[in-house]
Amino acid sequence: MKRRFQGFKIQDLGARKIPSPLTVGYFKTDDDRIIYDIHLRRERGGSRSGTPITMEVAGPREMIYFDPTKVKAGIASCGGICPGINDVIRAIVMGLYFRYGVQNIIGIRYGFQGLVPQYGHDVMELTFETVKEIQDLGGSILSSSRGDQDIGLMVDALERMNINIFFIIGGDGTMRAAELITREVTRRNLKIAIIGIPKTIDNDLVLIQKSFGFDTAICEAVKIIQCAHVEAKGAPMGIGLVKLMGRQSGHIAASAALAQGDANFVLIPEVSFDLEGEKGFMKCLERRLLDRKHAVIIVAEGAGQDLIPGAFPTEKDASGNLKLRDIGLFLRDQIERYFKKTRIDVNIKYIDPSYTIRSVPANAGDSILCGVLGQYAVHAGMAGKTGMLVGLVNDEFVHLPFKAVSSQRKTIDPAGNMWMQVLESTGQPSSMKG
């Protein structure tokens, strides 16, 4: 008797009737699942019936949907660049070619723009020779783009090019678009599998334990923090101020601070702070300088936007993200102004490596993660799964519907363990308000 599960339902194109060409002993079934929330005391960890909510485990299926000899696959990377995109592209191509024997693979240039005729972007043929060494390169060999494109035109292009499996590498905005593409494909009754590989250097996709590129970003950020610490200690009343990526989530700033241990203050979007006042940031910084003669500050790009004079930013970029004001430059100027007023001579060095840390090749840890994500994406696509992405949850690779990860962002809980660890590592006050 087939078991019934409460959980994230994954869409299938149809019955799987073709034996897999893989000669492995670790085939998975759709009944192989993991529990969504390991904290069973939480109400969200189970359904109303008391049955735990579960997720479908990723991996090769013994029977597949597509005939490998007739498959044409397409790959696109969307949004900002990130360490590891080329690793994912390579893993997808290698998996399709060597594990399933798929010969026809194309790369869609410049993200979703490559599917819209008016832009005139050529596609790129992807072969073993094309991708065999791209893991050593930063960025994406397919390039990328931001901005909304007409869903109907994109599906027209997939249909016109006879693409059977479309792999999409991107963040939450890209996954929302992928969901709309899936809906249109389903409405037209087309047999095209839409498979996502989650990409966000900020590690802010909900449910996903860790996204690729994040570890590399931390490693690169640590180098910058080390330099800031050296600069701060090298002068009387020295201050090293580092701005890191993190629009709405401070994961990079917090994790880099924990990895290095040289930071004295970490400012993130999730935790508001005052500049002035007895408990405010400036007074805390002054006490630190008078006590230790130097300080290192890490600020995430989305922190303190409410402190910058003028209306809160409303202008958006092509991806729909708010165009943030530069908190790094603002904070530098405010620090200089404050200590000039208090007649304390400070030596401040401001470092903004934001785009540097996302342009480098993936480190070893991220390369491993990228390779596995690409392999499991291939298995899902060949099995006829669609409207889903592959992600790491509770140390298992699982299938998740697009909507599950695009509905909200993963942020740092100010009352959670991670922020407590940051406070203990830095020694900064638990609150700089009031």
Give me the residues paired with residue 12 across strands. 385
The answer to whether 93 and 131 are in contact (CB under 8 A) is yes
User: What residue type is assigned to position 224 of the chain?
Assistant: I
Q: Which amino acid is at 360?
A: V
CA nearest to 221, candidates 326, 380, 360: 360
**How many Å apart are CA 146 and CA 138, to the nearest integer?**
18
Q: What amino acid is encoded at 412 in this protein?
A: I
E-strand stretches of 30-115: 33-35, 53-57, 63-64, 72-77, 104-108
CB atoms closer than 10 angstroms to residue 74? 24
Please give the DSSP secondary-structure letter assigned to residue 98. I
CA 347, distance to chain mean position in Å, is: 35
Contact 59, 339 (CB under 8 A): no
Give me the count of residues in the chain: 434
Concatenated DSSP letters for 133-172? TGGGSSS-TT----S---HHHHHHHHHHTT-SEEEEEE-H
352 is catalytic: no
Element spanning 193, H or E: strand 193-198
Q: Which member of 87, 172, 202, 366 is catalytic?
A: 202
224, exposed or middle or buried, with CB in 10 Å at 0-12, 13-18, 19+? buried
- Positions annotated as catalytic residues are 202
